């Protein structure tokens, strides 16, 4: 209590507060004010006071889907290319079925060149085809109708990824 007595004695004797004490009190006041401002800024407001303006906008009407997907022959490469990014049905005779032993992926080619349309069955979907007794190796020489999204891959060309046996229909 000596410092407090000294402070009150100095105040009474000199009539003023020492500058060190003023700095200390001002620093404590500013620190408290700073903590208060931070607390007010970062503490969550009560749910009663919390309100945000909300505007509801109706969703646009969905685009009408065609009743029937377009049917394109597998040999019509330019027409298939124009349908890239859309769903379509592709019909054609399988020229060759290739298999990548490394990745257990099947490539169903509808023509002899790299520019021909190709269907791809990845290993992740192969089990579904086997359950339905559809072995991709047996597609060679058969006429198929495939349904799915056409992709124009920059490295592999026109392709359709087959993930479900329902995408494949054997014609003969």
Residues 51-74: tens digit of each pLDDT: 677 777 787 877 666 568 889 999
Least-confidence region, from 23-32, 33-42, 124-133, 134-143: 33-42
Same structural domain for residues 29 and 107? Answer: no
Q: Which helix (H) or strand (E) holds 124?
A: helix 123-131
Same structural domain for residues 160 and 114? Answer: yes
Does 35 reside within a domain? yes
Q: How many domains does one find in the chain?
A: 2
Same structural domain for residues 85 and 38? Answer: no
Same structural domain for residues 77 and 6? Answer: no
List CB contacts of 2: < 8 A, sequence separation 6 or more. none
Same structural domain for residues 20 and 84? Answer: no
Burial class of residue 62 in the structure, from the number of CB atoms within 10 Å of its CB (0-12 exposed, 13-18 middle, 19+ buried): exposed
Average pLDDT of every residue of the chain: 84
Does 57 reside within a domain? no
Does 131 reside within a domain? yes
Closest by Cα among 129, 92, 88 to 109: 92
pLDDT greater than 80 at residue 105: yes
Same structural domain for residues 81 and 36? Answer: no
3-state secondary structure of 58: coil
Does 53 reside within a domain? no
pTM of the model: 0.60
Same structural domain for residues 77 and 153? Answer: yes
Same structural domain for residues 18 and 75? Answer: no
Same structural domain for residues 78 and 16? Answer: no
Does 152 reside within a domain? yes
CATH number at residue 79: 2.40.50.140
Domain assignment of residue 133, given as a range: 71-170
Does 107 reside within a domain? yes
Does 52 reside within a domain? no
Q: List Cα–Cα distances, 171 to 32, 60, 83, 139, 143, in angstroms.
A: 83, 39, 22, 11, 5
Same structural domain for residues 130 and 76? Answer: yes
pLDDT at residue 12, as a whole number: 53
């Amino acid at each position: 209590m000596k410092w407090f007595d000294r402070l009150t004695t100095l105040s009474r004797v000199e009539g003023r507060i020492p500058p060190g004490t003023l700095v200390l009190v001002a620093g404590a006041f500013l620190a408290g004010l700073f903590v208060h401002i931070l607390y007010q800024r970062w503490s969550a407001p009560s749910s009663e006071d919390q309100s945000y303006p909300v505007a509801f906008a109706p969703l646009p009407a969905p685009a009408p889907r065609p009743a029937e997907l377009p049917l394109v022959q597998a040999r019509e490469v330019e027409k298939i290319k124009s349908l890239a990014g859309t769903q379509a049905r592709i019909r054609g005779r399988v020229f060759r079925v290739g298999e990548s032993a490394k990745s257990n992926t099947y490539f169903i080619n509808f023509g002899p060149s790299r520019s021909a349309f190709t269907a791809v069955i990845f290993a992740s979907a192969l089990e579904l085809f086997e359950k339905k007794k559809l072995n991709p190796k047996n597609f060679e020489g058969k006429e198929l109708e495939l349904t799915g999204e056409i992709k124009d891959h920059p490295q592999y060309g026109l392709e359709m990824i087959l993930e479900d046996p329902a995408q494949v229909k054997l014609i003969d």
